[in-house]
Amino acid sequence: MELSDLRTADEVRAERLEADVQFRVEWDKTAFAREVGVAVVKYRTEHGLSQRDLAGLTGLHQPAIARLESGGEAPALATLAKLTRATGLTFRVDIANGGAVLVAV
């Protein structure tokens, strides 16, 4: 098998989303958490911070930063508030129709 024969992660995910209802439900359920995770990783890397550095800056523990970055669970509003206070990040949340999504700012 050639490397060019391998499917991309996006292709595999698209197939799973189409074929697997439980996967699609979980994917949709964790969308908000993933978006927060991406924002935290982006901020941390752009500022040359380790997870431990960001934890010290925000008053959170390093494992909490790791959980945020993993995007597996939606963070509490208090956690988002600590992040915004310490980093200047802005989160706008739209809660409707049984879901929560970050709104671009």
Task: Summarize pLDDT for 53-97 with one digit per residue, the tens.
Answer: 999 999 999 999 999 999 988 899 999 999 999 999 998 888 888
At 7 the three-state DSSP class reads coil
- CATH code, domain carrying 58: 1.10.260.40
Tokens of 5: 């024969």
How many structural domains comprise the chain?
1
Residue ranges making up the domain that contains 68: 3-103
The values of phi and psi at residue 92, to 5°, are -115, 125
Distance from C-alpha of 31 to C-alpha of 34, rounded to nearest angstrom: 5
The values of phi and psi at residue 60, to 5°, are -95, 165
pTM above 0.85, yes or no: no
